[in-house]
Amino acid sequence: MLNVILNISLLLLGISIIGCLYRVLKGPSMADRITALDTIGIQLIGSVAVLSMLLHTQAYVDIILLIGILAFISTVAFARFIERGVVLENDDDL
């Protein structure tokens, strides 16, 4: 029963990652794209944690920590990039 629940949660996490990937590609603004990238990082952490439970191992805990650190650093870096005002938005009015 637990394996079925874990497999369903992996499927739902995969679907939500695809939805966030759509937002990264078609996002209306750069802030939306950065938020979607951060959400993908969080969903990857959840996917690796569920996979670790499914395989009955603790070997993936280091990978979870690494993904979390990289997601945090990339979000902060993108936020600093936006703060400087270097981002060029696509204008449909031109």
Tell me the pLDDT tens digit for each residue of 45-88.
999 999 999 999 999 999 999 999 999 999 999 888 888 876 55
Rg (CA), the chain: 16
* Sign of the torsion angle spanned by Cα atoms 12, 18, 19, 24: positive
CB of 9 within 8 A of CB of 53? no
Give every CB contact of residue 30 below 8 A, 6+ residues apart in sequence: 78, 82, 87, 89
Q: What is the pTM of this model?
A: 0.82
